Amino acid sequence: MAGHARYTALLDACVLYPITIADALLSLSCSGLFAAKWTKEIESEWVRNLEKARPELAGKLGRRVAGMRVAAPDWEVAEEQYAALVPCLTLPDPNDVHVLAAAIAGHADCIVTKNLKDFPAAVLSRHGIEVIHPDDFIVMQLDLDAVAGLTALKDMRQRRKAPPYTPEEFAQLFDRCELFSTAQRMREAAALI
């Protein structure tokens, strides 16, 4: 499971929408544990959904989008790479087919999503792709390389300065995103983060 930049994770919109999850995943990617990928369609989806939920952010997410792209310079699976695959694939939610198509075209090893039921393992395994919940994925990265993973998450905590977070407050951010195993790992490593 991961540990090398050639290991590639396609990040679904639902894990890019919450800033805590997106920041954690991109921080771990920047540490070299895996390569993070997504598409402009996925990017548009999370931006649209966040602006809908928080209208005061409409038109103000450009800086966050640009920062994410800088953090993962090889982020994009271009539409022309995956569009031809879309009609050939079937998933329970037809709106998610482009995600699987992008994962295939982007040579992803996994799709990181909270919507596990929308990506049946039986369908994905035919393409050599697994579906992983972000909580499990983050914990796997920490298991793989605790020093690199904890350092990346420590750096993430230190970037949050307004207000600064204690290790417990940082763990609570993950709890609020329902990443309970990650939150527990943050509590266990409080002295290190």
Span 1-41, pLDDT tens digits: 444 457 999 999 999 999 999 999 999 999 999 999 999 99
pLDDT on residue 5? 53
Residue with tokens 């369908």: 123
Q: Is 106 a residue whose pLDDT tops 50?
A: yes
The confidence band for 94, taking pLDDT boundaries of 50, 70 and 90, is very high
- Omega of the bond prior to 163 within 30 degrees of 0, cis? yes
Question: Cα(93)–Cα(88) distance, rounded to whole angstroms?
Answer: 14
Name the phi and psi angles at 5, rounded to 5: -60, -25
Q: What is the pLDDT of residue 163?
A: 78
CATH topology of domain 8-137: Rossmann fold (3.40.50)
Q: Is the confidence at residue 171, as pLDDT, over 50?
A: yes
pLDDT tens profile 119-157: 999 999 999 999 999 999 999 999 999 999 999 999 999
Mean pLDDT of the chain: 94
Ranges of CATH 3.40.50.1010 domains, the chain: 8-137
